[in-house]
């Protein structure tokens, strides 16, 4: 899949007013998963996608389903406590189980398979392996220290984790569409949501009135209430293809969680999380892909999609009511590069809330929780001030007016303030912007 999404040509744009039980803004993994879960429960669901299905971050997914992306459980236990860590593990495992069941038992016609998962740790940090394995075990996950092939990993050690699966992300997204439609979800493409109220979403061509609203646009598009703009950042993600003969079939994760390498036969794909969007120094290939290629004796054959992913200050997603004042307006975002699992957690948590089912640990993702320190808000504030007053000759972002930066690698205009991206003629590629940028004849 690429940034153009999956243009099935099947879904018309929203025209006129309609009513539903649930209106969803955004047709990526989150929007479709939530729609499917709620329509299966008998609710009438309507979904409005700005472009085509999978156009946004969902199109940059490399198909890894995992309970972790690096060494994170020991640190989480120290920072957030054992109860939160338990709930984190439990909700991730429940989502993984649901993805596997969805693929294998409900007629989704493509394969998902379990793959050996390995966190690769520099020998200097080997003491962290034992701590991580113990923290994962306390949270109910299986992990064990592993000796790696010294020909490939001369200076590293490994932590093998279970419950890692790989699938074809594009086929999975299409299967969600098929299932959602089979259960009655109404999908509208080329229907950008331009305004949201607590009982309606509005597009340029029409509106959906509904008692429950879900904002599944990647980065939330409503400024207040919620204030996501001081507690959520967007980072670039790229997929890079490798080929060669040495890599064993497995999924390897870097210890800091910033990259993952999925090896299958002679081919591999590296997913890297890079710098925040609009950061000039990040406009080059992340060194992670060449490092994996060298280590595994493979070579780069091409770059795939360039997407973005959202990150929260404490590493927990925001899933649930948009704010404490809006109990029937929901959001799912901040998955930190683990979008397949995060979107399924959003489906389970939001449907449980709407259907009045037990919360089952999802309260740890409450968007109304504290922001856990001032580091990210201060960083975002600084970026915003720089964005407002820097680069007098460059066009402004249609979201809150920051100066845009042209990224020659992605060939997109990027906003360093909250991470909106625009194509060469100013059309919105990624939220929170909802209106086109005025580029006035630039690239």
In the complex, which residues of this chain contact ligand FES (CB under 6 A)?
Answer: 397, 399-402, 415, 417-420, 432-433
How far is Cα 134 from Cα 119, in angstroms, rounded to an integer? 14
Instruction: Give the nearest distance from C-beta 319 to ligand FES in angstroms.
Output: 22
CA distances from 237 to 22, 57, 268, 306, 338 (A): 31, 9, 16, 6, 11
Q: Which residues pair with 42 in a beta bridge?
A: none
Are residues 347 and 311 in contact, defined by beta-carbon separation less than 8 angstroms? no
Instruction: Give the nearest distance from C-beta 433 to ligand FES in angstroms.
Output: 6
Q: Which lies closer to ligand FES via its Cβ, residue 80 or residue 436? A: 436
Report residue 327: phi and psi, to 5°: -65, -20
Instruction: Give the nearest distance from C-beta 193 to ligand FES in angstroms.
Output: 16
Instruction: Give the nearest distance from C-beta 177 to ligand FES in angstroms.
Output: 28
Q: Is the four-CA dihedral 52, 318, 323, 371 of positive or negative sign?
A: negative
How far is Cα 401 from Cα 21, in angstroms, rounded to an integer? 35
Mapped onto helix, strand or coil, the DSSP state of residue 329 is strand
Instruction: Give the nearest distance from C-beta 428 to ligand FES in angstroms.
Output: 10
Q: Which lies closer to ligand FES via its Cβ, residue 255 or residue 414? A: 414
Q: Which lies closer to ligand FES via its Cβ, residue 29 or residue 433? A: 433
How far is Cα 421 from Cα 60, in angstroms, rounded to an integer? 15
| Greatest pairwise CA separation for the chain in angstroms | 64
Q: Which lies closer to ligand FES via its Cβ, residue 121 or residue 404? A: 404
Q: Which lies closer to ligand FES via its Cβ, residue 287 or residue 390? A: 390
Assign 3-state DSSP to the chain and report helix, strand, coil percentages, each to 5.
Answer: 30, 30, 40
**Residue 63: partners with Cβ closer than 8 Å, 6 or more residues away:** 166, 167, 168, 169, 172, 262, 340
Q: Which lies closer to ligand FES via its Cβ, residue 109 or residue 224? A: 224
Nearest to 272 by CA among 375, 409, 404, 153: 409
Q: For the purposes of burial, counting CB atoms within 10 Å of the CB of 374, is it exposed (0-12), middle (13-18) or buried (19 or more)?
A: exposed
Q: Which lies closer to ligand FES via its Cβ, residue 20 or residue 417? A: 417
Instruction: Give the nearest distance from C-beta 417 to ligand FES in angstroms.
Output: 4
Instruction: Give the nearest distance from C-beta 368 to ligand FES in angstroms.
Output: 22
Q: Which lies closer to ligand FES via its Cβ, residue 40 or residue 418? A: 418
Instruction: Give the nearest distance from C-beta 391 to ligand FES in angstroms.
Output: 13
């Amino acid at each position: 899949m690429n940034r153009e999404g999956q243009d099935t040509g099947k879904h018309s744009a929203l025209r006129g007013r309609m009513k539903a039980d649930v209106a969803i803004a955004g047709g990526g993994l989150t929007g479709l998963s939530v729609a499917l879960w709620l329509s299966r429960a008998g609710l009438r669901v309507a979904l409005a996608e700005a472009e085509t299905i999978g156009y946004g971050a969902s199109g940059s997914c490399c198909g890894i389903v995992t309970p972790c992306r690096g060494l994170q459980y020991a640190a989480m236990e120290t920072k957030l406590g054992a109860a939160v860590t338990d709930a984190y593990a439990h909700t991730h495992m429940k989502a993984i189980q649901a993805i596997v069941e969805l693929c294998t038992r409900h007629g989704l016609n493509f394969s998902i398979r379990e793959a050996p998962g390995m966190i690769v740790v520099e020998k200097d940090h080997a003491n962290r392996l034992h701590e991580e394995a113990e923290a994962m075990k306390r949270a109910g996950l299986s992990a064990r220290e592993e000796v790696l092939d010294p020909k490939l990993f001369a200076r590293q050690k490994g932590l093998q984790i279970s419950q890692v699966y790989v699938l074809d992300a594009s086929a999975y997204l299409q299967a969600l569409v098929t299932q959602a439609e089979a259960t009655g979800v109404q999908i509208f493409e080329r229907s950008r949501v331009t305004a949201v109220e607590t009982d309606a979403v509005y597009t340029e061509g029409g509106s959906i009135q509904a008692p429950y609203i879900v904002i599944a646009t990647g980065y939330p598009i409503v400024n207040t209430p919620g204030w996501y703009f001081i507690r959520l950042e967007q980072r670039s993600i790229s997929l890079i293809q490798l080929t060669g003969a040495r890599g064993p079939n497995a999924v390897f994760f870097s210890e800091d969680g910033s990259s993952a390498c999925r090896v299958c036969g002679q081919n591999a794909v590296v997913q890297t999380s890079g710098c925040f969007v609009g950061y000039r120094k990040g406009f080059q290939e992340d060194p992670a892909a060449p490092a994996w290629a060298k280590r595994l004796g493979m070579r780069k054959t091409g770059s795939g999609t360039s997407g973005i992913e959202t990150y929260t200050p404490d590493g927990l997603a925001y899933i649930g009511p948009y704010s404490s004042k809006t109990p029937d307006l929901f959001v799912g975002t901040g998955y930190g590069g683990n979008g397949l699992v995060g979107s399924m957690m959003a489906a389970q948590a939001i449907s449980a809330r709407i259907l009045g089912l037990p919360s089952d640990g999802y309260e740890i993702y409450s968007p109304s929780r504290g922001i856990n320190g001032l580091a990210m808000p201060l960083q975002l504030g600084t970026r915003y001030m720089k964005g407002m007053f820097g680069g007098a000759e460059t066009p402004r972002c249609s979201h809150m007016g920051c100066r845009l930066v042209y990224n020659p690698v992605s060939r997109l205009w990027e906003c360093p303030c909250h991470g909106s991206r625009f194509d060469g003629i100013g059309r919105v590629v990624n939220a929170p912007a909802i209106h086109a940028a005025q580029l006035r004849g630039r690239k």
